[in-house]
A and B are shown apart, each in its own frame.
Chain A
């Protein structure tokens, strides 16, 4: 497995004359060798110029590597896209995955682990949403039943969501499946490690993707010249609530005020040592997870933890504009099985959203998205017990900047503006579970695309993609650039930042690439034969 920078180092050769790939040779002529005058780094001319020629890159002394398809990111979005393309029949020699992580589930596993979903716990994803299996069959529930020789998971799928909670797979099972599929499709043979700096259009068609390899020799940068680029860089970045960020910066206190998306195990360690009060912020799935961990630890270690849960928007009951659009809610939470109503991934809401533009689309997003969490029997029982015994309290309110301070006894005091007036809350720890996301311009590659490559924003201010997931405004000759995942939220398909959503995007991208002649369109016969290969764990 080529998981280090070696694969980049081995392929930094320009194609010899006559070996130029047909997809770019038609427009661009022969591949120029680096002139040697440049030092192999980005020049001011390159940084300032929107559209580059082969000669400009060569003059900077940057070696050029050809690959017809490039995917940038290397996480789950890149993985499912490459998986689809491999199954469609694209060889590993025609694709490169540019990434700074070692395996596709690395970032996902980190985020799930720190937000209290270690491998034995269950994630929030449907049984048939299998990123390691484009068909979703056998589903996770069926695989689990076969592995454990128990009907329990199938029975749950049969009666969900009315007589049981939605079945969701264990994180460990998901990661094991991803590892198997990554090996099957030779994912690691296509992986090139490094940091992607920018993507620019090429004058003769296609794109240059600039990568900084982990080892800066022999050149400081490498330019990947491709006809197609796929962008799946994940979340642009996470933000803290402004008042928490201010508190952390002002007091340099990263101990008492933490984010659920960073390692905060010290909080749980401390709670086991001393009876303490925790202030939770946020009403989404991560707050539920953290809450469960606090309540589990309370029960398992006989702790006396007090939990105060602060909601900015407190949901008291079912809510929605009319009888046909009413979501369940209560005790602060909006309840929903998954990030969006289930029909977003293929039913009537998917069909509806596909037709909406501008403000209408943004409004629909707000209506069915927003902060929500699943209604799970175990969580409900734990919270009810907490309320009855007086150790779990909920509160509606906001905190203004500068309204947090450290008391002499080390407690963090927060002044909460509630509908009933200002309330002072003293807590040993504050856990931010809001998961606010940074603007796409916070991501260097995305900011560069917005500034230099014609990319624009959608009604939710993320990257604007077509129904095919082509990044609007970035067409370059015969070249096409695609984007999928969280950075494209707000497009014609809402569930982009989910397992199934990434697969839907991958399918649209693969079909569009087939229209551009990059690969065959997957028909029923190929689909069935490839499924049999998947079942037998044979390469595509």
Chain B
């Protein structure tokens, strides 16, 4: 899928909510850390929400950078590699206590596992399986509504 700005944002929100939500639901109980499960879930979903909210700004930046590409495309690897700066920013904000609503302390290992799995699952879904239920999605720049 070659995205438009609208399509980027919609696809990110949709996939993070559905795929990211599922991954969070499954992975949180086995993440390292001694906090009660309720707190771990709360923190896990807040991290996910932070990726969604900050992601809207990231997508604007990616769209701007894409304008220098003749093809106006976004290569597959870019979609995977952008996870590194995005993950780092979330981690910095977590460490600075700038993400509201966190009840416990999100450990480094727990964050890396959760973030990496969500990112990988969303990237994989966007690069194939999304086209199965949504046959028009790839022809409208990733827009879903």
Q: State the A residues within 8 Å of B (CB).
A: 128, 134-139, 142, 157-163, 320, 323-328, 336-337, 341-343, 345-351, 504, 507, 522, 524-525, 527-528, 531
- The answer to whether A136 and B4 touch across the interface, beta carbons within 8 angstroms, is no
- The answer to whether B141 and A348 touch across the interface, beta carbons within 8 angstroms, is yes
Given contacts A137-B131, A347-B4, A351-B4, contact A324 B71 (CB under 8 A): no
In the bound assembly, the distance between CA atoms of A431 and B140 in angstroms comes to: 40
CB distance from A152 to the nearest CB of B (A): 15
Residues of A within 8 A of B133 (CB): 524-525, 527-528
In the bound assembly, the distance between CA atoms of A323 and B71 in angstroms comes to: 13
Contact of B75 among A128, A162, A328, A527 (CB under 8 A): A162
Given contacts A137-B131, A531-B132, contact A346 B138 (CB under 8 A): yes
- What is the interface size of chain B, counting residues whose CB is below 8 A from a CB of the partner? 28
22 A–B contact pairs at CB < 8 A? A128-B131, A134-B135, A135-B131, A159-B77, A160-B75, A161-B75, A320-B70, A324-B68, A336-B71, A341-B72, A342-B72, A342-B73, A345-B2, A346-B1, A346-B139, A346-B141, A347-B7, A348-B72, A351-B141, A504-B139, A525-B133, A527-B133
CB distance from A373 to the nearest CB of B (A): 14
Contact of A327 among B4, B70, B128, B134 (CB under 8 A): B70
- The answer to whether A341 and B75 touch across the interface, beta carbons within 8 angstroms, is no
Residues of A within 8 A of B132 (CB): 135, 137, 527-528, 531
A532 (CB) vs chain B CBs: closest residue: B132
Question: Please, what's the 1-or-0 string for B42-86, where 1 marks a CB less than 8 Å from any CB in chain A?
Answer: 000000000000000000000000011011110111001000000
In the bound assembly, the distance between CA atoms of A345 and B3 in angstroms comes to: 10
Residues of B within 8 A of A137 (CB): 128-129, 131-132
Residues of A within 8 A of B131 (CB): 128, 135-137
Contact of A347 among B75, B135, B141 (CB under 8 A): B141
Residues of B within 8 A of A327 (CB): 70
In the bound assembly, the distance between CA atoms of A136 and B5 in angstroms comes to: 22
CB distance from A461 to the nearest CB of B (A): 26
In the bound assembly, the distance between CA atoms of A342 and B3 in angstroms comes to: 10
In the bound assembly, the distance between CA atoms of A134 and B136 in angstroms comes to: 10
Which applies to chain B's interface (DSSP): helix, strand, loop or mixed?
loop
Residues of A within 8 A of B141 (CB): 343, 346-348, 350-351
CB distance from B69 to the nearest CB of A (A): 8
CB distance from A110 to the nearest CB of B (A): 29
CB distance from A322 to the nearest CB of B (A): 10
- The answer to whether B71 and A158 touch across the interface, beta carbons within 8 angstroms, is no
CB distance from B34 to the nearest CB of A (A): 38
- The answer to whether A337 and B71 touch across the interface, beta carbons within 8 angstroms, is yes
In the bound assembly, the distance between CA atoms of A92 and B96 in angstroms comes to: 64
CB distance from A132 to the nearest CB of B (A): 14
Residues of B93-145 contacting chain A, CB below 8 A:
128-129, 131-136, 138-141
CB distance from A129 to the nearest CB of B (A): 10
- The answer to whether B77 and A346 touch across the interface, beta carbons within 8 angstroms, is no
Given contacts A136-B131, A160-B76, contact A348 B136 (CB under 8 A): no
Residues of B1-40 contacting chain A, CB below 8 A:
1-5, 7
In the bound assembly, the distance between CA atoms of A491 and B7 in angstroms comes to: 23
Residues of B within 8 A of A346 (CB): 1-2, 138-141
In the bound assembly, the distance between CA atoms of A159 and B80 in angstroms comes to: 11
- The answer to whether B70 and A325 touch across the interface, beta carbons within 8 angstroms, is yes
- The answer to whether A136 and B73 touch across the interface, beta carbons within 8 angstroms, is no
In the bound assembly, the distance between CA atoms of A157 and B133 in angstroms comes to: 23
Residues of A within 8 A of B140 (CB): 346, 351
